[in-house]
Amino acid sequence: MKNLALALAAGSLAWFGLPPPRVPPQPRLGQLVALVQDIREDYYEASEVGTAQAHRHVTESADAVVALARGEPEAADLVAPLEQFRADVRRQVQPPRIAAQANALVTRLAVQRRIATSPPQPPNLHRASMLYGAICAACHGAAGRDGNAAAFMSPRPTDLVADGNINPLSPFRVFEAITYGMAGTAMPSFELVPENDRWSLAFYVFTLRGGACAGPRPQVSIEQLATTTDSVLAAEYGERNLPCLRRFPDAVSEAP
Protein backbone atom coordinates (compact mmCIF):
# COMPACT_ATOMS: atom_id res chain seq x y z
CA MET A 1 0.00 0.00 0.00
CA LYS A 2 2.12 2.81 -1.28
CA ASN A 3 -0.18 5.58 -0.15
CA LEU A 4 -0.77 4.07 3.23
CA ALA A 5 2.97 3.65 3.69
CA LEU A 6 3.40 7.34 2.91
CA ALA A 7 0.72 8.22 5.42
CA LEU A 8 2.46 6.07 8.01
CA ALA A 9 5.80 7.72 7.32
CA ALA A 10 4.29 11.21 7.42
CA GLY A 11 2.60 10.48 10.72
CA SER A 12 5.60 9.08 12.49
CA LEU A 13 8.15 11.06 14.44
CA ALA A 14 10.94 9.34 12.55
CA TRP A 15 9.92 11.52 9.62
CA PHE A 16 11.33 14.49 11.51
CA GLY A 17 14.54 12.72 12.39
CA LEU A 18 13.51 12.12 16.02
CA PRO A 19 13.98 8.73 17.64
CA PRO A 20 10.84 6.63 17.35
CA PRO A 21 8.70 6.52 20.51
CA ARG A 22 8.88 3.32 22.54
CA VAL A 23 5.39 2.33 21.49
CA PRO A 24 5.10 3.79 18.01
CA PRO A 25 1.62 4.78 16.84
CA GLN A 26 0.22 2.10 14.58
CA PRO A 27 -1.98 3.75 12.00
CA ARG A 28 -3.85 0.67 10.99
CA LEU A 29 -6.26 2.38 8.68
CA GLY A 30 -6.15 -0.49 6.20
CA GLN A 31 -7.05 -2.87 8.98
CA LEU A 32 -9.98 -0.65 9.92
CA VAL A 33 -11.20 -0.89 6.32
CA ALA A 34 -10.85 -4.67 6.43
CA LEU A 35 -12.74 -4.97 9.72
CA VAL A 36 -15.61 -2.75 8.59
CA GLN A 37 -15.92 -4.85 5.42
CA ASP A 38 -15.92 -8.03 7.51
CA ILE A 39 -18.71 -6.67 9.67
CA ARG A 40 -20.76 -5.82 6.58
CA GLU A 41 -20.50 -9.43 5.36
CA ASP A 42 -20.83 -11.09 8.76
CA TYR A 43 -23.87 -8.96 9.62
CA TYR A 44 -25.84 -10.32 6.68
CA GLU A 45 -24.85 -13.84 7.69
CA ALA A 46 -25.70 -13.26 11.33
CA SER A 47 -29.16 -11.96 10.51
CA GLU A 48 -29.79 -14.98 8.28
CA VAL A 49 -28.57 -17.44 10.91
CA GLY A 50 -30.37 -15.44 13.59
CA THR A 51 -28.63 -16.99 16.60
CA ALA A 52 -27.43 -15.03 19.62
CA GLN A 53 -23.95 -16.44 19.07
CA ALA A 54 -23.74 -15.20 15.47
CA HIS A 55 -24.89 -11.80 16.60
CA ARG A 56 -22.41 -11.70 19.47
CA HIS A 57 -19.60 -12.37 17.02
CA VAL A 58 -20.56 -9.30 14.96
CA THR A 59 -20.97 -7.10 18.04
CA GLU A 60 -17.51 -8.13 19.20
CA SER A 61 -16.08 -7.17 15.81
CA ALA A 62 -17.85 -3.81 16.08
CA ASP A 63 -16.28 -3.33 19.55
CA ALA A 64 -12.89 -4.19 18.08
CA VAL A 65 -13.27 -1.66 15.28
CA VAL A 66 -14.22 1.12 17.72
CA ALA A 67 -11.28 0.23 19.98
CA LEU A 68 -8.91 0.26 17.01
CA ALA A 69 -10.15 3.68 15.90
CA ARG A 70 -9.88 5.10 19.43
CA GLY A 71 -6.26 4.01 19.64
CA GLU A 72 -5.41 5.50 16.28
CA PRO A 73 -4.88 9.29 16.17
CA GLU A 74 -5.33 9.36 12.39
CA ALA A 75 -8.78 7.89 12.77
CA ALA A 76 -9.94 10.35 15.44
CA ASP A 77 -12.70 11.81 13.26
CA LEU A 78 -14.07 8.33 12.62
CA VAL A 79 -14.61 7.37 16.24
CA ALA A 80 -18.07 9.01 16.44
CA PRO A 81 -19.45 7.50 13.19
CA LEU A 82 -17.98 4.12 14.16
CA GLU A 83 -19.67 4.31 17.57
CA GLN A 84 -22.94 5.03 15.81
CA PHE A 85 -22.29 2.08 13.52
CA ARG A 86 -21.67 -0.15 16.54
CA ALA A 87 -24.84 1.10 18.24
CA ASP A 88 -26.83 0.13 15.12
CA VAL A 89 -25.15 -3.28 15.00
CA ARG A 90 -26.15 -3.80 18.65
CA ARG A 91 -29.71 -2.68 17.98
CA GLN A 92 -29.86 -5.17 15.10
CA VAL A 93 -31.14 -2.70 12.52
CA GLN A 94 -31.91 -4.00 9.01
CA PRO A 95 -28.86 -5.42 7.17
CA PRO A 96 -29.10 -2.97 4.22
CA ARG A 97 -28.74 -0.07 6.65
CA ILE A 98 -25.61 -1.59 8.14
CA ALA A 99 -24.29 -2.27 4.64
CA ALA A 100 -24.89 1.36 3.62
CA GLN A 101 -23.13 2.66 6.72
CA ALA A 102 -20.25 0.24 6.20
CA ASN A 103 -19.88 1.37 2.58
CA ALA A 104 -19.85 5.01 3.60
CA LEU A 105 -17.20 4.32 6.24
CA VAL A 106 -15.07 2.34 3.81
CA THR A 107 -15.30 5.19 1.30
CA ARG A 108 -14.26 7.68 3.94
CA LEU A 109 -11.35 5.51 4.99
CA ALA A 110 -10.18 4.18 1.67
CA VAL A 111 -10.95 7.02 -0.71
CA GLN A 112 -10.37 10.08 1.44
CA ARG A 113 -7.25 8.65 3.08
CA ARG A 114 -6.07 7.38 -0.28
CA ILE A 115 -5.65 3.81 0.85
CA ALA A 116 -5.00 1.99 -2.39
CA THR A 117 -7.79 -0.44 -3.26
CA SER A 118 -6.14 -1.76 -6.43
CA PRO A 119 -2.61 -2.97 -7.28
CA PRO A 120 0.17 -0.50 -8.19
CA GLN A 121 1.21 -2.85 -11.03
CA PRO A 122 -0.74 -5.46 -12.99
CA PRO A 123 -0.86 -8.72 -11.02
CA ASN A 124 1.62 -11.42 -12.03
CA LEU A 125 -0.48 -14.57 -11.89
CA HIS A 126 2.32 -16.90 -12.95
CA ARG A 127 4.48 -15.77 -10.05
CA ALA A 128 1.45 -15.90 -7.77
CA SER A 129 0.80 -19.56 -8.63
CA MET A 130 4.28 -20.45 -7.39
CA LEU A 131 3.92 -18.30 -4.27
CA TYR A 132 0.53 -19.83 -3.59
CA GLY A 133 2.08 -23.32 -3.74
CA ALA A 134 4.80 -22.24 -1.32
CA ILE A 135 2.88 -20.28 1.31
CA CYS A 136 -0.86 -20.97 1.01
CA ALA A 137 -1.33 -24.52 -0.29
CA ALA A 138 -0.48 -26.31 2.97
CA CYS A 139 -3.65 -24.87 4.48
CA HIS A 140 -5.86 -24.14 1.47
CA GLY A 141 -4.77 -27.00 -0.82
CA ALA A 142 -2.98 -26.67 -4.18
CA ALA A 143 -6.33 -26.56 -5.97
CA GLY A 144 -8.00 -24.34 -3.37
CA ARG A 145 -9.47 -26.97 -1.08
CA ASP A 146 -8.39 -29.63 1.42
CA GLY A 147 -4.88 -28.60 2.38
CA ASN A 148 -2.83 -31.14 4.33
CA ALA A 149 -2.74 -29.01 7.47
CA ALA A 150 -6.43 -28.11 7.31
CA ALA A 151 -7.82 -30.98 9.37
CA PHE A 152 -6.26 -29.64 12.57
CA MET A 153 -7.74 -26.17 12.34
CA SER A 154 -10.90 -24.64 13.68
CA PRO A 155 -12.31 -22.83 11.81
CA ARG A 156 -10.97 -24.76 8.86
CA PRO A 157 -9.19 -22.88 6.07
CA THR A 158 -11.72 -21.40 3.66
CA ASP A 159 -12.48 -23.56 0.62
CA LEU A 160 -11.38 -21.14 -2.11
CA VAL A 161 -13.31 -22.76 -4.95
CA ALA A 162 -16.75 -22.95 -3.33
CA ASP A 163 -19.12 -20.36 -4.81
CA GLY A 164 -20.52 -19.39 -1.44
CA ASN A 165 -17.06 -18.47 -0.15
CA ILE A 166 -15.65 -16.63 -3.15
CA ASN A 167 -18.74 -14.86 -4.50
CA PRO A 168 -18.90 -12.32 -1.67
CA LEU A 169 -15.15 -11.50 -1.89
CA SER A 170 -13.25 -9.03 -4.05
CA PRO A 171 -9.49 -9.20 -4.72
CA PHE A 172 -9.12 -6.11 -2.50
CA ARG A 173 -10.86 -7.98 0.29
CA VAL A 174 -8.56 -10.99 -0.20
CA PHE A 175 -5.55 -8.64 -0.32
CA GLU A 176 -6.58 -7.37 3.10
CA ALA A 177 -7.06 -10.89 4.46
CA ILE A 178 -3.56 -11.78 3.21
CA THR A 179 -2.08 -8.55 4.58
CA TYR A 180 -3.66 -8.58 8.03
CA GLY A 181 -4.61 -12.20 8.55
CA MET A 182 -7.90 -13.07 10.20
CA ALA A 183 -8.14 -12.60 13.95
CA GLY A 184 -9.24 -15.67 15.86
CA THR A 185 -8.34 -18.08 13.02
CA ALA A 186 -5.19 -19.78 11.74
CA MET A 187 -5.09 -17.42 8.73
CA PRO A 188 -1.79 -15.60 9.28
CA SER A 189 -0.73 -12.09 8.26
CA PHE A 190 1.59 -11.98 5.26
CA GLU A 191 2.49 -8.34 5.78
CA LEU A 192 6.15 -9.08 5.11
CA VAL A 193 5.43 -10.44 1.62
CA PRO A 194 5.96 -7.55 -0.85
CA GLU A 195 2.83 -5.60 -1.71
CA ASN A 196 2.90 -6.56 -5.41
CA ASP A 197 3.05 -10.23 -4.54
CA ARG A 198 0.16 -9.90 -2.08
CA TRP A 199 -1.93 -8.30 -4.83
CA SER A 200 -0.92 -11.01 -7.31
CA LEU A 201 -1.90 -13.68 -4.78
CA ALA A 202 -5.21 -11.93 -4.17
CA PHE A 203 -6.04 -11.99 -7.89
CA TYR A 204 -4.72 -15.53 -8.25
CA VAL A 205 -7.23 -16.83 -5.71
CA PHE A 206 -10.01 -15.89 -8.16
CA THR A 207 -8.53 -18.11 -10.88
CA LEU A 208 -8.63 -21.30 -8.80
CA ARG A 209 -12.11 -22.12 -10.02
CA GLY A 210 -10.80 -22.25 -13.59
CA GLY A 211 -13.28 -22.16 -16.45
CA ALA A 212 -12.58 -21.63 -20.13
CA CYS A 213 -11.97 -18.17 -21.56
CA ALA A 214 -13.15 -18.01 -25.13
CA GLY A 215 -12.87 -14.19 -25.43
CA PRO A 216 -13.29 -11.48 -26.46
CA ARG A 217 -12.88 -10.19 -22.96
CA PRO A 218 -15.09 -7.30 -21.85
CA GLN A 219 -13.14 -4.13 -21.08
CA VAL A 220 -13.06 -3.78 -17.33
CA SER A 221 -10.37 -1.77 -15.56
CA ILE A 222 -8.03 -3.33 -13.04
CA GLU A 223 -9.41 -0.92 -10.41
CA GLN A 224 -12.90 -2.20 -10.97
CA LEU A 225 -11.80 -5.84 -11.01
CA ALA A 226 -9.94 -5.31 -7.72
CA THR A 227 -12.97 -4.08 -5.84
CA THR A 228 -15.73 -6.13 -7.47
CA THR A 229 -17.01 -9.50 -6.36
CA ASP A 230 -17.51 -12.46 -8.72
CA SER A 231 -21.26 -12.29 -8.24
CA VAL A 232 -21.41 -8.64 -9.32
CA LEU A 233 -19.07 -9.24 -12.30
CA ALA A 234 -21.18 -12.20 -13.41
CA ALA A 235 -24.36 -10.14 -13.10
CA GLU A 236 -22.88 -7.24 -15.08
CA TYR A 237 -20.88 -9.04 -17.77
CA GLY A 238 -22.39 -12.52 -17.84
CA GLU A 239 -21.29 -15.68 -16.08
CA ARG A 240 -19.42 -16.96 -19.15
CA ASN A 241 -17.12 -13.90 -19.19
CA LEU A 242 -16.08 -14.36 -15.58
CA PRO A 243 -13.16 -16.76 -16.28
CA CYS A 244 -11.72 -14.32 -18.87
CA LEU A 245 -11.96 -11.38 -16.50
CA ARG A 246 -10.35 -13.28 -13.66
CA ARG A 247 -7.68 -15.09 -15.69
CA PHE A 248 -6.67 -12.01 -17.67
CA PRO A 249 -7.11 -9.14 -15.21
CA ASP A 250 -4.66 -6.97 -17.11
CA ALA A 251 -6.76 -6.17 -20.15
CA VAL A 252 -4.07 -4.19 -21.96
CA SER A 253 -1.25 -6.71 -22.11
CA GLU A 254 -2.94 -10.03 -21.54
CA ALA A 255 -6.39 -10.02 -23.08
CA PRO A 256 -6.85 -13.07 -25.30
Please give the backbone phi and psi of residue 181, each rounded to the nearest 5 degrees, phi first.
Answer: 70, 180
Count of beta carbons in the 10 Å neighbourhood of residue 12:
16
Contact 189, 180 (CB under 8 A): yes
Question: Does the protein bind ligand HEC through residue 140 (CB under 6 A)?
Answer: yes
158 backbone φψ class: left, alpha, beta (φ>0; ψ -120 to 50):
beta
For residue 238, give the amino acid letter: G
Which residue number, 61 or 101, has a Cβ lying nearer to ligand HEC?
Answer: 61
Select the span of 43-51, 76-84, 153-161, 225-233 touching ligand HEC (CB under 6 A). 153-161
Question: Does the protein bind ligand HEC through residue 157 (CB under 6 A)?
Answer: yes
Question: Does the protein bind ligand HEC through residue 155 (CB under 6 A)?
Answer: yes
Question: Does the protein bind ligand HEC through residue 39 (CB under 6 A)?
Answer: no
Minimum distance between the CB of residue 190 and ligand HEC, rounded to whole angstroms?
5
Please select the residue that binds ligand HEC; options are 31, 158, 170, 179, rule is CB under 6 A. Answer: 158
Count of beta carbons in the 10 Å neighbourhood of residue 148:
11
The DSSP result for 68-83, as a single string, is: HHHT-GGGGGGHHHHH
Count of beta carbons in the 10 Å neighbourhood of residue 195:
18
Question: Does the protein bind ligand HEC through residue 123 (CB under 6 A)?
Answer: no
Distance in Å from the first CA to the final CA of the chain:
29
When computed from its CA atoms, the radius of gyration of the chain, rounded to whole angstroms, is 19
Question: Does the protein bind ligand HEC through residue 142 (CB under 6 A)?
Answer: no
Minimum distance between the CB of residue 173 and ligand HEC, rounded to whole angstroms?
6
Q: How far apart are CA 43 and CA 139, in angstroms?
A: 26
Select the span of 47-55, 113-121, 157-165, 222-230 touching ligand HEC (CB under 6 A). 157-165
Site string for ligand HEC, 171-200 (x = CB under 6 A): --xx--xx---x--xxxx-x----------
- Which residue has the closest beta carbon to ligand HEC? 136
Binding site for ligand HEC (CB under 6 A): 135-136, 138-140, 153, 155, 157-158, 160, 169, 173-174, 177-178, 182, 185-188, 190, 201, 205
